Structure 1
Amino acid sequence: MRATMSPSLLLTVAITVLLAFAFLGTRSIWDPDEGRYTNVALNMLESGDWLHPMRNEHIGHWTKPPLTYWVVGASIGAFGYNPWAARLPVALAYLACVWAVWRIARRWLPGEENRAALIYATMFLPFGAAQMITTDFLLSAALSVAMMGWIESRYDDPQRSRRWVLLMWAAFGVAFMTKGPPALLPLLVVVACIRLLPAPRAASVFHWSGLLVFIAVAMPWYAIVVHRTPGLLDYFLGRELVARVATSDFGRHGEWYGWLEIYLPTLVLGSLPWTVSLWRWLRSLGASLRSWKSAQTRSEDSVGLILFLWVLIPLVVFCLARSRLPLYLLPLFTPLALIVARQIHRDDRGFPSMRWIGVWVLLLVGLRLASAFWSTHKDAAEWAEAIRARVPYPVTEVAFVEDMARYGVHLHLQARVDKLSLRPIKLDPFDGEYDTDLDTELADLDTDIVFICKQTHWDEIRRNIEARGRTVTVYGSPYQDRILFGVSLPNS
């Protein structure tokens, strides 16, 4: 046995805060995901319309509920147009997850809570995701708090148990406002555990008061926008729920083997440097599964069974669904961190030395700093700087013609962004590929717009614009094989 001292609470907090905020704003916004979320949030902030998520004035962006846009937009409104402000809500969600792990471990593994929190904080996937503007960390934080509320309700006296259940439903409501119906997956875990592990003292999870709290948090926005927007309910149910689960229309590794291709590396690499402890847990599962056939053993090892189901049930659903991305698994790293802490405690192998953890923390911080200097065509700040250097007037709008729209430019240039089709299109009011078409944009031409297209499309686009009686002016040399140009009326 190797006896090691548990890290102090102060040291655990210091390391966690360092990992949350170190170089948080050093890297600029990267498209497409970060650019898309910040763009919609900025459109809310600038228009004052916090109900309707919009890519621009032409088209809505209904793929996710608005909570992520609200908190990102509010943060930018408070702290300015910069990546630090845009990422602050995600960093705070990371801290909330660490706290939830600490709180649950204090209940289940008294004396091990600091270790459990440090395990989560230093896992590679949570650390990496803590600087990515997506819905996933806000969802993970809400679900971690929801499960914490349910776990606490199993142990407290009946009156306080009811309060924990209400917290659980409030957190599920926040999760639903972050990512919609997929946020309720852990409820399947709760139901399975209630059936396998009755807790006589616990308040009923499905009491009307809890459901009322959930409805009050999760439903008003949906009710308002569905009432105001014809066809939106069909879009939510058909496109965003059924199609994402049952089809590969979104091109997100929908092949039968896609779950293995995406989720196995995510679990192995994302759990570094604690993967070996997870492997030891997997090796012990066979014996645990056999022992859980007995109700008495399930009761004696309730923590182990809850953690197993907390990982297994959502993971099975994620594997069966035809839309698969690594960050979908982020909510599972809360139980995985608790599993690692419990496994280390049960193995009696001792906790790694703080010197070793310090080296890993420095490596993580170094990787984050290095990412700020990694050159990529997705860097919205470089696009903004290229536009400033070439265009001789203040730009209020950037229109990408038949090209990937760099929506992150909105934050760095404080200019609206459009994606234009060269040919006339019928706009999808919910989430079409294009924001509008070139004809529509030219009909309402603003002299402060800069257009961008690939060099390979330049001759065709120029001929189309000139055929419409407009004059084209090229600005500077090409940037990343793109032509930057302005459009004006003759003699204007």
Structure 2
Amino acid sequence: MWIAALALVLAFAFLGSRGIWDPDEGRYTNVAVNMLESGDWLNPHRNVDIGHWTKPPLTYWAVAASIGAFGLNPWAARLPVALSYLLCVWLAWRLARRLAPGTQATAAMAFATMLLPFGAAQLVTTDFILVACETLAVWAFIEGRRGPGRPEPWIALMWAGFALAFLTKGPPGLLPLLVVLLFDGLMPGRRRAFQLTGIALFALLALPWYVAVMLDNPGLFEYLIGDEVVNRVTTNEFGRHGQWYGWATIYLPTLVLGTLPWTPTLWRWTKGLPARLRRWRDPAARHDDAALVFLTAWVLLPLLVFCLSRSRMPLYLLPLFVPLALLVAVQRHTEGRPLPPWPQMLAWALVLIALQFGTAIWPTHKDASAWAREIQARTPDPVHEVIFVDDMARYGLRLHLDAEIEKVSLDPIPPGTQTRFNPVNDEDLATELAEAADDPGAIWICKQALWPQVQARVADHGHRAEKLGTPYRGRVIFRTRPAATP
């Protein structure tokens, strides 16, 4: 109960105190609000005219449902992620209870207090929802294989969990399925992961959305497979540390710092890993150490895939932190010291809460709420559209201003050159001026260095750009009017 209480505090402390941070939180909340207000829950959109096809819809659905229930605020936007964190704490407990009885308290405590899961629990991305779905699937597999009773309902739940993971992040959500299949092959028994009813349930839950949007958007299948899967894995097109050494610069610090304060325990486990791998060449030894074999495979197999992929980000490793927490628990129980003293853990929890408070008050250009205040201070009119000219669109303003966000290019976009799915710009300056030039509720933003060119280009199109107040963070906030307006 104390661990549950601590996890609740860590999940909800200052949950809504910080504004939405761009770019990641802004993108997800923007699409979710657009879904909620348009009523189109099938097609993700970044604005009325442009779709947003980088991720499947489950995260958007969860955030939109939460905002619909609790209002247009950061607390509601982050609630699904915080609940996913709490679900993973509970699943870590349940998995440890089945795989290594007696270690469950340590496993739950380790996951709840590791630095990376704690930090990700208040960040609106797909990652924690993905971890919750994958961990649910793995737990169901373990219950079906090692628990009492009939395995069929558990295997069905496993496939349902993987279906939800597939709806959260597509094919990467099925990485733990490779672990399940590998373990099923290494440890043959009467309970097998492949069951026709489970696979049918997966297809029923996971595939209808994909089929519907692909039929409605010809070419989407090629884009999702080509750009969002193949190119992310095999190229550095997205600029995510695709160098040959990128895995070391991103993943080693993530594992060392992200597992604090349990890193020393995991280091001791790592030092013993080569000897265990040699021992597990013997089938009888694998059978005796079945739980440890599974946890090791759950960490190493996905980690190998992440390292080989040329798209690398710290949060990609978040799904590994449940098995890492279980390995911490097993290692500490082997050493005869399951849990650190409570004063030490409470002191660490206070450090984590202080970090939450610090991020809530830390001034940063990423904070969309600060941008919203600056915009509202410059105009008495309600703002219903914010247009960024050759600059990063701050989609977090969708939540804080309830305004549509657009990104336009200063130069004309030649016909036929705009990519159909996820184009860089929504349209060009000339087109947007024709739509919103004399609208007092339309606010424009550009980089200060670009301001003279923007003024001149707006004038070339028969309008004038009026600066609103002083620049903010190197950006000029302005509105436009037809040149003939007095």
CA distance in 1 between counterparts of 2:434 and 2:120 reads 42
1:465 paired to 2:458: yes
Paired AA for residue 142 in structure 1: C
Amino acid at match of 1:52: N
- Give the one of 61, 85, 90 matched to 1:99: 90
Judge conservation of contact 1:452–1:482 (CA < 8 Å) in 2: yes
How far apart in 2 are the matches of 1:266 and 1:171? 26
Deviation sequence 1:256-295 (CA, Å, 0-9, x none): 0000000000000000000011011011112211211111
One-letter code of the match for 2:187?
L
Q: Secondary structure at the residue paired with 1:444?
A: helix
Give 2:419's aligned residue.
428
Which one of 136, 149, 155 corresponds to residue 146 of structure 2? 155
- Where 2:405 maps in the other structure, the secondary structure is strand
Q: Is the 8 A contact 1:42 1:411 kept in 2?
A: yes
Q: 3-state DSSP class of the match of 2:478?
A: strand
Deviation by residue 1:239-258 (Cα, 9 ceiling, x = unmatched) = 01100000000000000000
After TM superposition, the score normalised by the length of structure 1 is 0.96
SS of 1:398's partner is: strand
Q: CA deviation at 1:58?
A: 2.2
1:83 alignment counterpart: 74
Residue segments in structure 2 that go unaligned for 5+ positions in a row: none
Residue of structure 2 equivalent to 1:406: 394
Q: Is the 8 A contact 2:389 2:444 kept in 1?
A: yes
Is 1:52 matched with 2:52? no
The equivalent position to 1:175 in structure 2, one of 155, 165, 185, is 165
**Structure 1 gap segments, 5+ residues each:** 1-9
Q: Does 1:488 align with 2:476?
A: no
2:181 counterpart residue number: 191
Equivalent-residue separation in structure 2 for 1:349 and 1:491 (angstroms): 77
Q: Which amino acid aligns with 2:201?
A: V
1:253 aligned to which of 232, 236, 241: 241
Residue 24 of structure 2 corresponds to 33
| Matched position secondary structure for 2:462 | coil
**Displacement of 1:208 after TM fit?**
0.8
**For 1:115-171, what per-residue CA distance to the aligned partner results, in whole angstroms no more than 9, with x for missing partners?**
2111100000000000000000000000001100111111235x6211110000000
What SS does structure 2 have at the residue aligned with 1:55? coil
Q: How does 1:343-362 map to 2 (within 5 A)?
A: 343-362=331-350
Aligned to 1:7: none
Q: Which residue of 2 aligns with 1:308?
A: 296
2:469 corresponds to which of 472, 476, 491: 476
RMSD: 1.1
In 2: Cα distance, 1:401 partner to 1:485 partner: 11
- Asked whether 1:66 is paired with 2:57, we answer yes
Query: Matched residue of 2:387: which SS?
Result: strand
**What SS class does the counterpart of residue 272 from structure 2 fall into?**
helix
1:48-92 Cα offsets, whole Å, 9 max, x none, are: 111111111121110000111111011111111111000000000
- Once the two structures are TM-superposed, the CA of residue 440 in structure 1 deviates from its matched residue by 1.4
Task: Return the match for 2:15 from 21, 24, 42.
Answer: 24
Say which is worse superposed, 237-246 or 431-440, in terms of deviation: 431-440
1:417 aligns with 2:405: yes
- Change in 2 beyond 3 A, CA 1:236/1:151: same
Paired residues of 2:381 and 2:440 also in contact (CA < 8 A): no
Q: Does 1:439 align with 2:398?
A: no
Counterpart code for 1:338: L
Instruction: Give the C-alpha shift of residue 350 in structure 1.
Output: 4.3
Tell me what 2:102 maps to.
111
Distance, in Å, in 2 between the alignment partners of 1:145 and 1:451 is 45
Q: CA deviation at 1:188?
A: 1.1
The answer to whether the 8 Å contact 2:29/2:399 transfers is yes
Provide the identity percentage. 55
Which residue type is aligned with residue 62 of structure 1?
A: W
Q: In the alignment, does 2:370 pair up with 1:382?
A: yes
Kept in 2, the 8 Å contact 1:59–1:428? The answer is no
CA distance in 1, matches of 2:121, 2:53: 24
Letter in 2 for 1:101: A
Shift of 1:212: 0.6
User: What is the identity, as a one-letter code, of the residue corresponding to 1:167?
Assistant: L
Runs of 4+ in 1 over 4 A off after TM superposition: none
Q: Count how many residue pairs are aligned between Structure 1 and Structure 2.
A: 480
Q: Is the 8 A contact 1:58 1:436 kept in 2?
A: no
1:275 paired residue among 263, 268, 276: 263
2:466 is paired with a residue of what secondary structure? strand
TM-superposed deviation, 1:433: 1.2
Q: Distance in 2 between matches of 1:120 and 1:16?
A: 9
Answer yes or no: is the 8 Å Cα contact 2:166–2:174 preserved in 1: yes
1:368 and 2:356 correspond: yes
Displacement of 1:108 in angstroms is 1.8
Q: 1:293 aligns with which of 257, 277, 281?
A: 281
Residue 128 (1) aligns with residue 119 (2): yes
Cα deviation, 1:155-190, whole Å, max 9, x if unaligned, reads 235x62111100000000000000000111111111
